Structure 1
């Protein structure tokens, strides 16, 4: 696993930064929304304790190098509107998985693509990754479009890989190789 240290990444509109206790309320607001959590394996959050536990797990992942979840903050207002992550690192293959979530009020504004471009650049350059993967519920067309726009290729389909809110859910696997990245 990589050695991770606190970072901030900037785009024209966003600051991506390590998350901590100050983010509990905003992080909860993102995942308490049933529309945001619709394709998330845990379902919508119902307690601030879930946000606290998630942030504690995020900080533990920073410490042991198993993952990095960065808060996505609007530069103009300082508002935390979501997060992006690299996790499940496989050092010997120089690969990992990527995840992301954005508050519904900010959907359609290009924020996820903007944040992920910065995260991909960090992953492929600073962390020297060769491959980044993502899995998406095939019903989540917006997420699939974001990945394809960033250069990811659809690589596989796994029926009923997850149980989401008590229902089986399929997965479409996407992958992006550094040599295909347009960073």
Structure 2
């Protein structure tokens, strides 16, 4: 199953003084997955995920080809620990503390009660319901702990696996944004999904 959405961290360097200084996001535990904050030793697995052209087929930037490309992205992930702006988690299997994917709540607007969900999962773990379990924990945290009213997802409509995952979570496809992205010279649309707190199961 293809899991990534377009919502994610921008690739830019973060000031060294901000790296890892904020508290970790809360630990979220499911039956098979544990969602935790980023650590320095996650960098190799993060690069492995984002350098895979299959996993990144519908992403908002091309697959990485050099681990140095991950540096700014990773610094942002370590620094983005602000429940009023962005929360970034690593997806791990319960009992195996290794990054197999990532999930985020980004573009958080507490005044408007809104955020955007992002997720990616390494290809060997597709088709097992792990992305669903992980994102369900994050969505529940957004609604029940952060008090959000609405969570959105920006998905390439060709990414049928990700569309199915969003719909299984209860997201509604609310519209199509034509030619919204240009990645590696390829133009693609966005299917915009939304889920309201009052509809959360």
Q: Same fold (TM over 0.5)?
A: yes
C-alpha displacement of 1:94 = 0.5
Task: Quote the Cα distance in structure 2 between the aligned partners of 1:10 and 1:51.
Answer: 27
Query: Which residue number in structure 2 is paired with residue 168 of structure 1?
Result: 187
Match of 2:154 among 120, 132, 135: 135
Task: Quote the Cα distance in structure 2 between the aligned partners of 1:64 and 1:96.
Answer: 10
Unpaired segments ≥5 residues, structure 2: 1-21
Alignment CA distance shift 1:129-1:64 (3 Å): closer
Asked whether the equivalents of residues 157 and 191 of structure 2 are also in contact (C-alpha less than 8 Å), the reply is yes
Query: Which residue number in structure 1 is paired with residue 96 of structure 2?
Result: 77
Query: Which residue number in structure 2 is paired with residue 105 of structure 1?
Result: 124
Match of 2:66 among 34, 47, 67: 47
Aligned residues: 180
| Structure with a larger share of its residues in helix | 1
Query: Which residue number in structure 2 is paired with residue 144 of structure 1?
Result: 163
- The aligned runs of 1:11-50 (5 Å cut-off) are 11-50=30-69
Report 1 or 2 for greater relative contact order, CA contacts < 8 Å, sequence distance ≥ 6: 2
Q: Give deviations 1:66-123, integer Å, cap 9, x for gaps.
A: 2111000111322210011000012221001010000000000100000011101110
Query: Which residue number in structure 1 is paired with residue 134 of structure 2?
Result: 115
Normalising by structure 2, report the TM-score. Answer: 0.85
Task: Quote the Cα distance in structure 1 between the aligned partners of 2:135 and 2:96.
Answer: 20
Coordinate RMSD, CA, aligned: 1.5
Task: Quote the Cα distance in structure 2 between the aligned partners of 1:179 and 1:107.
Answer: 29
Query: Which residue number in structure 2 is paired with residue 93 of structure 1?
Result: 112
> Structure 1 residues 111-120 or 71-80, which shifts more?
71-80
Unpaired segments ≥5 residues, structure 1: none
C-alpha displacement of 1:162 = 0.5
